[in-house]
Amino acid sequence: MVDRILVLRKLDQLEAYGRQLSEFKNISLQQYREDWKAQRIVERTLQIMIETCVDITNHVIADSRMRAPKSYADSFTVLQEKGIISKEIHAQLVGMAKFRNVIVHQYDEIDAAIVISILRNHELTFDQFRAQILGFLHNPRSEAMDHA
């Protein structure tokens, strides 16, 4: 059984991080490139938001006894396979999980244009993820999916 209180708390945290990040929504690409503090705040907050989504996803997966994901990105695939999140949100979150890996592991130079794009479009993705997880929590047949 999914620990609804824990997941709801994490969804509230996700929403709070989104509000904080929205303060930077109108920053220009040039301003962003020239402001290391803004870069640090935006990139770290995006990382935290993505990790919060993965944490929520992993709680749902573990508590519902779904297959164990092989990676952060795969955790979103598990939920999409079970119909908990849409294909569209799945694709966006898989991309964000890969972006998170670039930030954390510094595989490559972080492309400021990609960060600005995510910054401008993140609200819809995270809001839709939140809504779809809430739908799962409130769906009376959600627990029936335990072993599906």
Instruction: Render 94-143 in DSSP notation, one character per residue.
Output: HHHHHHHHHHHH--S---HHHHHHHHHHHHHHHHHHHHHHHHHHH-TTGG
Task: Please answer whether residues 6 and 125 qualify as being in contact, where contact means their C-beta atoms are separated by less than 8 angstroms.
Answer: no
Above 80 in pLDDT, residue 69?
yes
Domain tally for the chain?
A: 1
Interval 79-101: pLDDT, tens? 999 999 999 999 999 999 999 98
State the CATH number of the domain containing residue 60: 1.20.120.580
Interval 27-44: pLDDT, tens? 999 999 999 999 999 999
pLDDT given at position 107 = 63
pLDDT band (50, 70, 90) for residue 145: very low
Determine the Cα–Cα distance for residues 73 and 57; give it in Å rounded to an integer. Answer: 10
pLDDT > 70: what percent of the chain? 93
Domain containing 92 equals 4-147
